[in-house]
Amino acid sequence: MRKLLPPLCLCVLPLAVLAQPAKPAAAEVRRYAIEVAGLRVGTMTATRQPPVGPEEVYTLVSDVKVNFLFYHLKIYYQVMNRFRNGQLLLSTVEAHTNQDDFQSRTEWKGDHYTILADQYKHHYEATEKQPIRYAVTNLFFGEPTGQTRAFAEYFGDYFTLSRAKDGIIRAVRDGREDEYQYANGQLVTLVKKNPLKNFVIRLLP
């Protein structure tokens, strides 16, 4: 004869099922191909980690290798931005190139940021008292609305943002211009304009 579970077990089983921990939310990941003159020369990956309490972490990694006649370029670039309650607490940038290794760091000290950008042909030190609430990494996770500037982690200062037309955002800094193209609120193409050749960054399927 089949044994029946006692009533107590029947009560406990549903509770045990309910008590199982929920699966952690998955990170949001956007993967892009980097092209120069129609040739794929690298990849870029933007990641937004699930919030942990009031904290949220964004990372951006790009890996580029270009070999055109006398033009050789190798860059591995990683950005990490940590926000709390929507305010940037820490931004670090590591760049490993065929020229040398470089880094930038922006850190909130309680009432101001200390900023040090030591990059190829670019050195910048400053303090900033205004909270930073929007950075370049944010541009990869939704079309900006009401934003007039984005913190440029690499340089340690800001891109000015303007809307060229529906779905296209221009980011300008010191003569440099990037164009962010969105479809249904998602970044699909980023054009980094360059005097030699534009870098075109396209969302991968």
| pLDDT score for 162 | 97
Give the mean pLDDT of 37-66.
95
Residue spans of the domains in the chain: they are: 24-203
Task: Identify the pLDDT of residue 21.
Answer: 62
Q: pLDDT-based confidence at 20, cuts 50/70/90?
A: low
Predicted model pTM: 0.85
Identify the sign of the CA torsion 149, 145, 83, 78.
negative
Query: Residue 35: which of 205, 202, 161, 159 has the closest Cα?
Result: 202
In the predicted model, is pLDDT for residue 8 greater than 60? no
The pLDDT tens digits of the residues spanning 73-127 come to 899 999 999 999 999 999 999 999 998 999 999 999 999 999 999 999 999 999 9
What value does the mean pLDDT of the chain take? Answer: 90
pLDDT reading at 152 higher than 70: yes
**What is the model's pLDDT at position 188?**
98
Residue written as tokens 């949001």? 28
How much is the pLDDT for 10?
39
Question: Are the CB atoms for 123 and 117 separated by under 8 Å?
Answer: yes
pLDDT of residue 35 exceeding 80, the answer is: yes
Q: Is 173 exposed, middle or buried (0-12, 13-18, 19+ CB in 10 A)?
A: middle
Least confident range of 20-24, 39-43, 76-80, 154-158: 20-24
* Model confidence at 47: pLDDT above 80: yes
Measured CA to CA, the distance from residue 159 to residue 37 in angstroms comes to 25
